[in-house]
Each structure stands twice: as C-alpha cells, then as structure tokens.
Amino acid sequence: MWPNIQYYCPCLSSANALTPPPPILASSSASFHSLHNLYFCEECDAVRCNRCVSVEVSGYYCPNCLFEVPSASVRAEKNRCARNCFSCPICRATLSVVASDPPDDGTGRPITPLNNVGEGPYLLYCNYCRWDSTEVGITFEKPTGLAGTRWLVHFVSNAYIRVVAIDLSSTAQLQKYEDSAPESLEFERLKEHFEPFLRTSSLSSSTHLLPPTSHHLHTSSATAAASAALSRDIPGISKYNPLSRSRSGRDRTANKDEMAEYKSRVEVGLFGQLGSGGDDADVELLRCTETVGEIAKLEQRWGNSWITSLRMSELRPLRIPLHSKVSKRCPACRHILIKPEQKAQSVRYKIKLAAANYLPALSVGFPQTQAAKRALGKGVEPRNVGVMLAGITNNTFRVALTNPLYDPIQVRLSPQRVTDGRGFQVSLPLTPFSIGAFAEAWEYDDDEDMFGVEDDELGLEVGRGSRDKDARGRTKNVGVLERRANVTVVGGEVNVHRSYRGQVKFNMLVSYTYRSDDPLPSEDGAGTPSRAVVKTPEVKTFSFYTVVDLGPVLSKDDSESR
C-alpha cells in the first residue's frame, strides 16, 4: 500500500552497518516496519523490532473464561481450556451450556412457566448456528464445571470414539472409552518407550553443556538456554560432524545397544482401524457423498488436535485453545521492552517502551495535484494507479511529522540519492526544521499555544523552506508548509526521468535533536554509534532510517489515455 513510510531496524544487517539495504531489493522489506510495531530500548538507545526481540511467555489463559492456567497444567490439559469452554464444530462460536426444553403445548410455548435453572440433561448449544451437542450424542447431567464436564473434556480431546450416547454419570465407563482411543494408547506407549532415553540424555547433556556459540556479546541467559537445548544430543541421532565420521558411527552402534526396538500397538497395514477409519473409509465416504455440505470444511477441521472425521455431521465440539501473554526483551541488554499485566482480564501493560513514544511519527501523502484530480475526475482512485508522472520534474508529495516528546525537536531529513541517472531525484528541505512539543489536549487553553511555536527554542538554526515563493508568485512545493501544535508538514518534489518505470521508493535518514534530561553518558560511543553529543550537554541527536514509498510511476501517455 502506498504512499507510506516505514522505519528501519538494523538487526538484519551485518557488522552493525546502519545503512539499510536499497529499497528496490525485494528482500529489504524484511528490515522495515511500521512505527507502531517497533520498540525502543532506552538502555541501548536503539530501535528494536519484533524480529530481534526475545520473547518470553508470561502466562497462559483461556480467552473465553479468562482463567489463568498455571504453566504446569498447560501441557497436561493439552493447551486447551479444561473448564466449561468449547467452540462450535460448525462455526467456531463459543458454545453455551443449556438445559433441555421442557414439554410444550405444541406451539412452542411451555406448558408450565420456566424456572431459571432448567432441567437436565444439559447440552452444549451454539447460539449462532444452532448446532447442539446432542447431534453427536453428547449430553450431561450437570450444567457447571463439575466432574461430568471434566470427563466430557477428556472425551472431546480424544474425539474419535465411535459412540452415540454417553452416560456421564458413569465415569468408569468414560475412562474406558478414553483409554481405548487407539492414537492415545499409541502416544502413551511411545512416551513410555522413550522415557528412559530422555532421562539419561538430559543427565548427560547437563554434565557437558556446550559453551554459547552466539556471536552476541550480551546473549541473554534465556537465549543461551534455548540454544543449548537446540544443540543437545538427541538419542539415536548423532550430531553431524564432518571431521570424525568414524566417531559418529560408533555413536550409532552405542545407541543401538541402549535402545530397544519399538513395536507399535497396531501393525502398519492396519492403520485403517484408527480414528475415523483411515484412508479407505475416507475414499468410500467421498464416493458416496451427494452434496459438498456433507464434508467438513478445512477450517472446521484444522483446529483439531487429532484426526477427525471428514463428515460434517460427526464433528465434535472443541475445547477452546489457550492464549498466552508474552513479554519482550531487548536482545542486547535484556531489559524488558514490553510486559503485560499478569491478570488475564487486564489489557494494560506494566512496561511499554513503544518506539512511537520516542521517534517522531512520519506520514506521507499527496496534495491535490493535477494528476490526482485528473484520476479522480475519471472515477479512478489515484491510490490504485499511481500519481508520480514520468518526465515531470515537480511531482509533489508531503511528509507530516508528529513529535511525541514534551519538548520541541529539530529534525533534519536526508533522502538517500538514487545513483542511477535515469531514475528519479528527490528534493526535500535539507536544513533542520522544528516541530512543536507534544501537549495533552487539556493543556491548550486557548489558540495561542496552537500556533506560536518558538522556532529557536533550542538555540539552533531553524530551517526555512528552500524557496518560500519564487518571483512569479508560484506557491512553494519544497520546504516547511505548515506548523500546528506538534505537527510540521514539509513538502517535497520528485523529478522522475522520462524513461523511468517502477516504484518511487527511497531510503531517508531522519535525525532529530532533542533536549535530554539525562546527564552526559560516559565515553562509550562504540556501542551507540547513532548518538552524538551536539553543542550543549543537554541536547542529543538520534538518527534513524526510513523508507518512503510514493508508489508506481505512470508514463504521461498512460495518464492521458485514461
């Protein structure tokens, strides 16, 4: 989508190169992010993106009942809510527990007035598509999360038992059903088989933990633990080592001696016995299908943990998958960049270092140019075709900069030059200009604050538009066009060579000078190459790269013919 501006995170570039890749490369898009997706580490004085932060789960919860599930039980409950939360197998809506209908007089009106509690048996009911669990033979005696529901949960998690009616009062019977699920049995058997090997290997690997191999100097302990876990020996699979083939061969024999051969419960040829009946049954089902509606759609099946029937009428309710809250850390200094409040009900954050609170927000747009008007007049959104014209020297665009800081800042824009002479040249005001301080809305008592931004508040030279108005009285296109509150709008022009086709997309370095409350940092400029001390100790400069996309170029003929 264009026009737009994205911000650069240097984490993908090698050797601390701060210059972003040329925007014409398709791969460059991975390095650019929209501002609201970025974080800012105060410690490192650097932008961090979702690709380079390290992520930690800080808690699991059910998105429906908002129960916070202790991480110990997450695995046991197979990552799904073990309380009363189910989603509809047909439409994914949340199911509610309802009582059975009382007898009626044939017109849909109850004979006796209904009480609030209702009568059993209870069923799971979808208020949206009107599916209910009796369609697959599930009913239960009590409406709340009692043992009955608990058993139902287990039943559903092994959802391929071919039973029609279940008596939930008989827990022993259900236990039997559950245990007899072939996949479940096979899985348990596999776990049992590998258990001793896993135990010995975790012992041996802890005795000779590999030194961290990461190039990062400040690798976090979490990252180190993760990489150690990844490089741990897996029993039966020797580590790839090209220098010592003989050694790996010895390993294999050693492992062979340790590990007994695994025999599966069912023979390979008999997998048809499993679950929905195997491939042959599926083929048979598809042969007999009369309408597409009989077959469950992909969306209805891919949320399942185990294989389910292809038949729509046999789909079972699913326990709702748990969600997690995560916090993110700076990859270099391990400081937390964002951390949600623990409680599932809360949508607030304990810590939130969003880049939007540090860097000026840039947005790009087009004035109502001739080209845009022409396109609109023909009923074409200029957005869909492009407004940059080839062979025109003054394709105009505007950049609005919004200052999030409580002090005014000085900004300098440096668009990177496109080296190809037959490409395009970008003109923007190159001298610094100011943006007013951010103020909460209630601080504007009257209009005076809205306009009178002190240009020389920082005592620095203030940029003027490169041409305010030329001799013939033409309005200026390049320069500061507008200043109000904490927003400054600057205009720019693109000179597109008449043979150029493609995107007008260029990198732009943005430097801004702000008043800092911190005392001067000690001389460790090596770690923070982007920061330089300017003039007085209280004033600092921060630079970041952006990519500006002004959309595709139109040839003049194209635009005329339209």
Partner 1 sequence: MPPIRDKFAIHSKAVVCQDVDLKGDITIGPGTVVHPKAAIFALVGPIVIGAGCIIEEAVIIVNRRKDIMRIGDNNLFEIGCRVECPSIGDFNTISTRARVHNTVRMTNHCVVGAQCLVVPAEDETLGEYTCIYGPAADRRIWSGRGQVQEADLRMKHAEYLREMLPKFNRLRRSDGT
Q: Can you read off the two tokens belonging to residue 313?
A: 């009428």
Choose the contact partner of 36 out of partner 1, Zn ion, none; CB within 5 to 8 A by kind. none
Per CB under 8 A, 260 contacts partner 1: no
Per CB under 8 A, 101 contacts partner 1: yes
Q: What string marks each residue from 105 to 144 as x (binds Zn ion by CB under 5 A) or -?
A: ---------------------x-xx-x-------------
Q: Can you read off the two tokens belonging to residue 288?
A: 């007999």
Q: How far apart are CA 314 and CA 178, in angstroms?
A: 17
Q: What string marks each residue from 6 to 45 as x (binds Zn ion by CB under 5 A) or -?
A: ---x-x-----------------------------x-xx-
* CB of residue 329 to Zn ion, shortest distance in Å: 8
Per CB under 8 A, 114 contacts partner 1: yes
Q: Which range of residues in 78-86, 195-203, 291-299, 398-406 is near Zn ion by CB under 5 A?
A: 78-86
CA angle 91, 95, 100 (to 5 degrees): 120
Is the distance from CB of 102 to CB of 111 less than 8 angstroms?
yes
Q: Which of residues 314-373 bind Zn ion (CB under 5 A)?
A: 330, 332-333
Per CB under 8 A, 94 contacts partner 1: no
Per CB under 8 A, 468 contacts partner 1: no
Is the distance from CB of 388 to CB of 399 less than 8 angstroms?
no
Is the distance from CB of 356 to CB of 368 less than 8 angstroms?
no
Choose the contact partner of 135 out of partner 1, Zn ion, none; CB within 5 to 8 A by kind. partner 1
* CB of residue 129 to Zn ion, shortest distance in Å: 3
Q: What string marks each residue from 116 to 145 as x (binds partner 1 by CB under 8 A) or -?
A: --x----x-x--xxxxx-xx----------
Q: Can you read off the two tokens belonging to residue 274?
A: 């499993």
Choose the contact partner of 456 out of partner 1, Zn ion, none; CB within 5 to 8 A by kind. none
Q: Which of residues 74-93 bind partner 1 (CB under 8 A)?
A: 90-91
Evaluate the CA torsion angle 390, 391, 396, 399 in order and state its sign: positive
Residue 200 identity: T
Per CB under 5 A, 152 contacts Zn ion: no
Is the distance from CB of 209 to CB of 225 less than 8 angstroms?
no
CA angle 496, 501, 504 (to 5 degrees): 55
Is the distance from CB of 322 to CB of 79 less than 8 angstroms?
yes
* CB of residue 321 to partner 1, shortest distance in Å: 20
* CB of residue 121 to partner 1, shortest distance in Å: 11
CB atoms within 10 A of CB 102: 13
Q: Can you read off the two tokens belonging to residue 115?
A: 């009480």
Per CB under 5 A, 156 contacts Zn ion: no
Exposed/middle/buried for 25, CB within 10 Å: 0-12, 13-18, 19+? exposed
Nearer Cβ to partner 1, position 118 or 278?
A: 118
Query: Quick one: which of 22, 27, 29, 10 has its CA closest to 416?
Result: 22
Is the distance from CB of 542 to CB of 511 less than 8 angstroms?
yes
* 3-class state of residue 524 by DSSP: coil
* 3-class state of residue 425 by DSSP: strand
Choose the contact partner of 52 out of Zn ion, partner 1, none; CB within 5 to 8 A by kind. Zn ion
**Of the candidate residues 35, 85, 123, 550, the single one contacting Zn ion (CB under 5 A):** 85
Q: How far apart are CA 429 and CA 414, in angstroms?
A: 9
Per CB under 8 A, 472 contacts partner 1: no
* CB of residue 102 to partner 1, shortest distance in Å: 6
Choose the contact partner of 104 out of Zn ion, partner 1, none; CB within 5 to 8 A by kind. partner 1
Categorise residue 305: left if φ over 0, alpha if ψ from -120 to 50, beta otherwise.
Answer: alpha
Is the distance from CB of 168 to CB of 174 less than 8 angstroms?
yes
Choose the contact partner of 332 out of partner 1, Zn ion, none; CB within 5 to 8 A by kind. Zn ion
Per CB under 8 A, 106 contacts partner 1: no
Binding site for partner 1 (CB under 8 A): 90-91, 98-102, 104, 108-110, 114, 118, 123, 125, 128-132, 134-135
Binding site for Zn ion (CB under 5 A): 9, 11, 41, 43-44, 49, 51-52, 62, 64-65, 81, 83, 85, 88, 90-91, 93, 126, 128-129, 131, 330, 332-333
